[in-house]
Structure 1
Amino acid sequence: MQLISAQDLRRTTGDTRSLSRRYAQGELVRIRKGIYAEKRAWVSLPPWERYFQTVRAVDLELPQSTFCLHTAAVIWDLELLAVPAYIHLAGATRGHAGRRKPTTSAACARSGQTGIEHITAYGIHRHRGNAAAVQRGGLLVTPLAETVIGVIAGEDFTAGVVLADHAISGRRGSGPPVSKDELFRTAFQLESAARRSWVAQVLNFAVAESESAGESLSRAQMHVLGFPAPMLQAKMRQGGTLLARTDFFWPKYRLIGEFDGDAKYLNDEYLGTQTARQAVLAEKKREDRLRAAGFRVVRWDWATASDPARLAACLRQAGLPSSRSRQPGTR
Structure 2
Amino acid sequence: MLGQPAPEPFDPQVLRLYSVLRRQGIDPKRHQGWARVRRGVWVKAGTWAGLTPEQRHAARAHALTLVCDPDRSWTFTHETAAAVWGLPRIEPWPDAVRTLVVGTRRRGSPGVRPTPGLDVVAEVVHGIRVTPVGRTVVDLARSGSLPTAVAAADHALRHGLCTRDDLAREADAVPRRRRGRPQAALVVDLADGDSMSAGESLSRVQMFRLGVPRPRLQVRHEDAQGLIGIVDFDWDGAVGEFDGKVKYRASDGDSAAQVSEVLWREKKREDRLRARGRVARWTWEIALDQERLGAVLAAQGVLPDPRASWFDLGQRRVG
Please tell me the TM-score bracket, short chain as reference: 0.7 to 0.9
What is the TM-score with the length of structure 2 in the denominator?
A: 0.78
Report what 1:283 is aligned to: 266
C-alpha deviations, 1:207-239, integer Å up to 9, x for none? 221122111111110110111222222222335
Say how many residue pairs are matched: 289
Pick from 56, 74, 79: which aligns with 1:70? Answer: 79
Q: Which range is displaced more, 31-40 or 195-204? A: 31-40
**How far off is 1:323 after superposition?**
4.8
The one-letter code sitting in structure 2 at the alignment partner of 1:128 is P
Matched, 1:125 2:125: no
C-alpha deviations, 1:127-181, integer Å up to 9, x for none? 2355422111112111222112111222232222212211112xx2xxx531111
**How far off is 1:290 after superposition?**
1.7
**How far off is 1:244 after superposition?**
2.6
Gapped runs of 5+ residues in structure 2? 1-12, 311-318
Report what 1:107 is aligned to: none
- CA RMSD in angstroms comes to 3.3
Describe how 1:202-241 pairs up with structure 2 within 5 A.
202-239=187-224, 241=226
Whether the aligned pair in 1 keeps the contact of 2:28 and 2:35 (CA below 8 Å) is no
C-alpha deviations, 1:77-118, integer Å up to 9, x for none? 1122134213111137645246x66xxxxxxxxxxxxxxxxx
Structure 2 SS opposite 1:88: strand
Whether the aligned pair in 2 keeps the contact of 1:97 and 1:127 (CA below 8 Å) is no
Q: In the aligned structure 1, how far is the partner of 2:40 from the partner of 2:290?
A: 44
Gapped runs of 5+ residues in structure 1? 102-122
Q: In the aligned structure 2, how far is the partner of 1:237 from the partner of 1:39?
A: 49
Q: In the aligned structure 2, how far is the partner of 1:24 from the partner of 1:148?
A: 41
Matched, 1:257 2:267: no
Report what 1:305 is aligned to: 287
Report what 1:155 is aligned to: 144
Q: In the aligned structure 2, how far is the partner of 1:265 from the partner of 1:88?
A: 39
Q: In the aligned structure 2, how far is the partner of 1:267 from the partner of 1:79?
A: 24
Matched, 1:196 2:181: yes
Pick from 50, 59, 63: which aligns with 2:56? Answer: 50
**How far off is 1:275 after superposition?**
5.1
Pick from 174, 177, 186: which aligns with 2:170? Answer: 186
The one-letter code sitting in structure 1 at the alignment partner of 2:98 is H
**How far off is 1:257 after superposition?**
1.0
Matched, 1:177 2:161: yes
What is the TM-score with the length of structure 1 in the denominator?
A: 0.75
Structure 2 SS opposite 1:177: coil
